[in-house]
A and B are shown apart, each in its own frame.
Chain A
Amino acid sequence: MVTHTQSARAGQRERAGEASGVAERSRPGLGQRLGGFLERSWRPFALLAALFVAWWGVTAAELVEPYLVPSPGDTFDAIAQRPEYFWEHTWTTTYETVLGFVIAIAVGVVAAVAMVQSSTLEKTLYPLLLFAQVIPKIAIAPLFVVWLGFGLGPKILVAVLMAFFPVVISMVTGLKSVDPEMLQLSSTMGAKSGQTFWKIRFPASLPHLFSGLKVAATMAVTGAVVGEFVGANAGLGFVILQANGNLDTPVLFAGLLIMSLLGVLLFVIVEWLEQLLLPWHASRRDEGASTTI
């Protein structure tokens, strides 16, 4: 026994040695973090700036007629002249998008859980889901207007329809991706199925869910705008249609710009949430051996 404990102590010493090789670094300060952010994100910003310069260059050199492609200045002017107008319609589209996105998440997650619980239900629902996905939304949107009128209803419905498919698919994949040995282990622990779900299956599915949410976020914006195209008196889709009718390309471009920003913003929020909720996941970890520090 004596020698066994001795060798175990030796093992502990070794491990302590390992531990002493780890130096705690202090948390980076605000300046450092800002620097890190700039360092990570200057490339996309540079590309964006280059695109703006190209846009400006093309219009300044009058390579195309201004009524076809307005200059960046004209586009921003269009917004600056009527800020309330743009604010109001952006808000409408944001509202429809976010509501559609949230409903899509709720419906998608519940459907995925139900489908994973029962294979009969899965076989029954899957073709229907696929059907709902392949049917062109722009084609059924007019029907929704007939059914639900010109209000928010049809826009939210199209947004939900577009966003919820990636949610379901990613969540089903996530729930099925659990290590079968983990589930066997859980049953030897006498776990109830509810316990296994909340402590193992659900958290394990979140990384998959989030990759679906990122796709869904961009889809929701498209869905809301498609809904507005078909029949609306508010929203960015309505702004674009109206500007189109008046050949007012600066307003049209402004609408497009805001719409894209909306999609990017929603995407960034989802990504930020993912980082906050799943710091343990492999795709979210800092590069351990980063040499740039």
Chain B
Amino acid sequence: MAGYAVEIDDVTVRFRSKKRDVTALTDVTMRVEPGEFVSIVGPSGCGKSTLLKLSSGLLPASTGDVRLFGEPVNGPRKDIGYVFQKAALLEWRSARKNILLQAEMRKMPAKEAAARADELIEMTGLSGFEDALPHELSGGMQQRVALCRALLHRPPVLLMDEPFGALDALTREQMNVELRRIWQETGTTVLLVTHSIAEAVYLSDQVVMISARPGTVAGVVDVNLPVERDYGPTMAEPEFAKATRHIRDHLGAAAAAE
């Protein structure tokens, strides 16, 4: 029962607005093993982000079950880390204090939190920028701060909602390489929503494809690439080409146009 890190079982999500009812997700079933890196790709508005909100308990399922480590999710969960597309940093706090917000809210022991923050700052290459205010940091640096904040409490599950969507292409590639390394170092389960098929394949063990609204699982692709993935060489691997092509064909023109 407690075998999966994230379990989404036959879930439907409907939003009710004044004018109409919208079914965002229907009959979605997916499972994520502990320690796995799973990406979710699909056209805009297919409910990818909704899947993350479900897993974190920020949004209830209309029907069906969501479980984290076998435990039903009802209400916001504390045992996750969340990264949004926007870094969502507090403007008045330095990078370090933004990271430590996580510890303050959770009332973690100060020493332990400080040590962990130092470790993450080092790991993400933020050293030297600890005291900078968010507006003094580049987009990539801001996102690194958000990532550190999400990892501070060593969450068993990390949820990332298009974390690199607002970055330029080069920074994005660099962040991909770093995220892959950080995932290997922390061993946490990652659920990543992305628009980029290349990003999904490079980073993941498994890519879940969601169809256009109402979103449902259109297929799952296992990525058979080695654990050690150099960026350039990985891109040139036949398996990489095969996986990206498969996903692109599956999602059709809608995703290709993105």
Instruction: List residues of A whose CB falls within 8 A of some B CB.
Output: 1, 3-5, 7-8, 11-12, 15-16, 19, 179, 181-182, 184-191, 195, 199-200, 203-204, 278, 280-282, 285
Contact = CB atoms under 8 A, between A and B. Distances in A.
Q: Which 7 interchain pairs have the tightest Cβ spacing?
A: A189-B105, A190-B78, A191-B105, A187-B76, A280-B92, A4-B181, A181-B88
A188 B79 CA distance: 8
Contacts of A12: 125, 127
Interface in B113-131: 125, 127-129
B58 interface: yes
Contacts of B250: none
Given A185-B84, A280-B133, A1 B105 contact: no
10 contacts: A8-B125, A181-B84, A181-B88, A184-B82, A186-B105, A188-B56, A188-B58, A188-B76, A199-B105, A278-B92
B157 to A, nearest CB: 11
B237 interface: no
Contacts of B53: 184
Interface residues of B, number: 36
Contacts of B56: 188
Nearest to A188: B82
B63 interface: no
A6 B84 CA distance: 28
Interface in B37-78: 53, 56, 58, 76-78
Contacts of A195: 104-105
Interface of A is mostly: helix
Interface in B87-112: 88, 90-92, 101-102, 104-106
B148 interface: no
Contacts of B177: 4, 7-8, 11
A2 to B, nearest CB: 8
Contacts of B224: none
A184 B83 CA distance: 11
B90 A182 contact: yes
B186 interface: no
Contacts of A187: 58, 76
A1 B184 contact: yes
Contacts of B105: 186, 189-191, 195, 199
B143 to A, nearest CB: 13
